[in-house]
Each structure stands twice: as structure tokens, then as C-alpha cells.
Amino acid sequence: MLIVFIGPPGSGKGTQCKRLLDYLHIPHLSTGDLLREAKAKGTSLGQLASQYMDQGRLVPDPLVLTMVGEKLNEPEFADGCLFDGFPRTLQQARALDEALAKRGTPLDLVLELRASEDELIARMLRRSSAEQRADDNPQTIGHRLEVYRQQTAPLLDYYRFRGVLAVIDGMGTPDQVFQRIKTAVDSRRSKCH
Ligand code: AP5
Ligand code: MG
């Protein structure tokens, strides 16, 4: 299965992808994790990307698309993938569709994780005291939320129109949210087979 997770920062994309990975045994592809890894290694991509990430801005599409394209060519992604934080712009969504059409493996499901803005902010601020993510500070969090509204939320209509979107209530405990995701995934799987 090919599943995309879309949701604002702090909505639980990473948390839920890890659970779904254990359930479906499909590899996880998080562009945020890949970019943070590149940044930690100090590669030229990482250095360039950090100028955007640290301010809560999107890394330019060509850089992200090259990175994802290379990853998708790896054999482990041949049969399925959980996309976390990608695509984030219409250009990325169209490029992904084209790449998947060439492989003959269209997207099965897009999960939109929703949570209130107060909850999103509270989660990221809680994380900021435990982990050192350069973008988990009040000013950058505000900007990330705005970028989501402006640049990523329009993708929801794109996928809704294609009939692959499922809206998931992301409030409650991680286990409660995961139960809702499982229901959506199982229902899609029963339609596919
Ligand atoms: P990215 O790494 O994707 O970050 P994000 O979208 O800002 O989202 P987060 O990772 O903060 O949140 P999440 O939804 O994964 O939630 P999580 O499970 O961690 O992107 C970072 C940056 O990289 C971007 O700003 C951009 O610059 C760049 N980038 C990445 N992809 C890009 C792309 N495609 N194009 C261009 N640029 C790109 O949960 C958050 C916290 O809450 C955790 O501490 C977790 O433990 C906790 N939590 C989770 N669920 C619950 C729950 N139900 N109850 C209580 N706490 C919970
Ligand atoms: Mg994440």
C-alpha cells in the first residue's frame, strides 16, 4: 500500500507512521527526518535545507523531489510506502503522482490528521523541552502552522476530489488516534482486494 499522511505540525504524523509501520510492515519515508539527518551530517543538502527548516519555511520543491526520487528507487520502497510530511505542495503532489504512475502503483490512501491549534502548539512546546528541534520554538511554530494553511492544506481538495482522502480525528491519546487510522486503512484494504 502507498499511504500519504498530511497534517499540520504536531498532528502526530511521525507518531502514527511508526505504529502503522508495525501493523502493515511498510517502510516509512519522512522528508523531515531525511532533511534533519542531512543537516546533522552537514551535507550540502543539509546546510541548504536548514536555512529553510530553522525558520519554518518549506525547503524548495526541486531539492525535496530529488531527495524523494532517489529514496523511492531503493528496493525497499518497491511495494509500499508511508509518506510522512510529503507531498506538501501541489507541485510535489503532481510529481509524486507522475512517479507513481510510471511505476504503475497509484496512491491508495491519504490520511488527513486533524487537531486543534492549541493542542498542536502544546505538543510541540512539550517536545521542545525533551528534544532539541531547532523549529520547536513559539515563533517558528506559528510560522509552520501558517505555511501549512497556505501551502499544504490546498492538497486536501486535490486528494478529496480523487476519492482517496480520509479525515482522521487526531485528538485524544496516540492509541485512540491509531484505532481510527486502522479503521480507515482496513476499510480501504477491503475495497482494494
Ligand atoms: P517535518 O519534520 O515534517 O515536521 P512537521 O510537519 O512540522 O511536523 P512534526 O514532525 O513536528 O509533527 P508530526 O505531525 O510528525 O507529529 P509528531 O508525531 O512528531 O518538517 C520539518 C521541516 O522540514 C519543515 O518545516 C520544512 O522546512 C522541511 N520539510 C519537510 N518535508 C518537506 C517537504 N515535503 N517539502 C518542503 N519542506 C519540507 O508529534 C508531535 C509531538 O506530539 C511529539 O512529541 C509526540 O510525541 C506528541 N504526540 C503525538 N501524538 C500525540 C497525541 N495523540 N497526544 C499527545 N501527544 C502526542
Ligand atoms: Mg514529524
pLDDT in tens, 33-92: 999 999 999 999 999 999 999 999 999 999 999 999 999 999 999 889 999 999 999 999
User: Which ligand is closest in space to the CA of residue 120?
Assistant: 1
Residue positions annotated with a catalytic role: 13, 88, 127, 133, 144
User: Cβ < 6 Å from ligand 1: which residues?
Assistant: 7, 9-15, 31-32, 35, 52-53, 56-59, 64, 85-86, 88, 92, 123-124, 127, 135, 144, 173-174, 177
- pLDDT tens digits, one per residue of 141-163: 999 999 999 999 999 999 999 99
Give the pLDDT confidence score for residue 193 in this predicted structure. 64
Q: What is the pLDDT of residue 8?
A: 98
What number does the ligand 1 atom closest to the CA of 30 have? 3
pLDDT of residue 192 exceeding 80, the answer is: no
Q: What 3 state SS string does the chain have?
A: CEEEEECCCCCCHHHHHHHHHHHHCCCEEEHHHHHHHHHHHCCHHHHHHHHHHCCCCCCCHHHHHHHHHHHHCCHHHCCCEEEECCCCCHHHHHHHHHHHHHHCCCCCEEEEEECCHHHHHHHHHHHHHHCCCCCCCHHHHHHHHHHHHHHHCHHHHHHHHCCCEEEEECCCCHHHHHHHHHHHHHHHHHHHC
**Average pLDDT over the chain, rounded to an integer:** 96
